[in-house]
Amino acid sequence: MKIVNREWQRSIELKENIIHTIILENKQYFRECVRSLKLQHQGDEGLFIFSDGLKEISLAKYSYIITDLFNLDINNKKILTKIYTELMKYAVENCIELNTIQTHLLNYYENLIHSSSLELEYRDEFDIMGMLKLADFKINLISNNDLEKLIKYLKVLVELCGIKVIFIVGLHMHYTENEIKQLYKELCINKINIINIENRQYKNLSTVDYTEKVYIFDEENCEI
């Protein structure tokens, strides 16, 4: 898989054990790129092109951007939709268990009607999704460790939502070198592709296990 920007000469090849970091030293250009990338993830046209072989694939559908590492919404609409889709699939496939629940509910409704002095009626169509949403299913993210939260969030995006690459803004600014090394190790083990976007240069954290590939654009927006 590959990501290109129409204004850049270089392309980003997504490969195992390669971490990509883009340095945009011009602050105005940094803001413009991040803003444009966010809008493109919302479905707007943009400069970034995501492809797999010769086929262009949807950036909004198969990639994700994190701009606020202090506010990781692991139970956002995109993720919850996937959760309920998976639960719905399980419920339908296990129809015997579902039919038993439906029978008990309908019997309960009948008992309620008989216990009332009013002439009541009810809808006997069984809404599976409505029943599931009554439970208010969410991913449990109880942890005081910010790095653990981030790792779990990235895993959910890839494993549940089918995200193929994740853009992270300001990772090096908010985490220590040791924390980032630990994160990179987890990413490589779980085959998660990320692209860091930073405003200044940081120490290259390549090890024998992975390579951090850095792309630098200076104050004049020249590729170094």
DSSP 18-72: EEEEEEE-SHHHHHHHHHHHHHHHTT---SEEEEETTEEE-HHHHEEEE--TT--
222 within some domain: no
Q: How confident is the model at residue 179 (pLDDT cuts 50, 70, 90)?
A: very high
Q: Look at residue 126 and tell me whether its pLDDT is greater than 90.
A: no
CA distance 79 to 158: 10
Of all residues in the chain, the percent with pLDDT exceeding 70 is 100
139 within some domain: no
Are 70 and 168 found together in one domain?
yes
Under DSSP, is residue 12 helix (H, G, I), strand (E, B) or coil? strand
In whole angstroms, how far apart are CA 69 and each of 48, 51, 142, 155, 163?
22, 27, 16, 15, 18
29 within some domain: yes
Are 49 and 85 found together in one domain?
no
Q: How confident is the model at residue 142 (pLDDT cuts 50, 70, 90)?
A: confident
Under DSSP, is residue 117 helix (H, G, I), strand (E, B) or coil? coil
**In this structure, what CATH number is given to the domain that contains residue 47?**
3.40.50.11940
Q: Look at residue 141 and tell me whether its pLDDT is greater than 80.
A: no
Burial class from Cβ neighbours inside 10 Å (0-12, 13-18, 19+) for residue 221 reads middle
Q: What are phi and psi of 197, to 5 degrees?
A: -125, 120
Helices assigned H by DSSP within 63-176: 77-93, 95-115, 128-134, 146-159, 171-174
Q: Which domain holds residue 40?
A: 2-74+160-217
Are 175 and 65 found together in one domain?
yes
Domains in the chain: how many in total? 2
Are 20 and 69 found together in one domain?
yes
174 within some domain: yes
pLDDT by residue (tens digit) across 208-223? Answer: 999 999 999 999 988 9
Structure confidence at residue 157 (pLDDT): 95
CA distance 223 to 165: 22
Average pLDDT over residues 193-218: 96
Q: What is the DSSP letter of 223?
A: B
Q: Look at residue 146 and tell me whether its pLDDT is greater than 80.
A: yes
The token pair that represents 136 in the structure block: 């208010």
CA distance 162 to 82: 10
Are 89 and 184 found together in one domain?
no
9 within some domain: yes
Q: CB count, 10 Å around CB of 167?
A: 22
The token pair that represents 113 in the structure block: 């009607």
What is the CB-side half-sphere exposure of residue 49 using CA atoms within 13 A?
A: 13
194 within some domain: yes
Supply the pTM of this predicted model: 0.87
148 within some domain: no
Between residues 42 and 125, which one has the greater pLDDT? Answer: 42
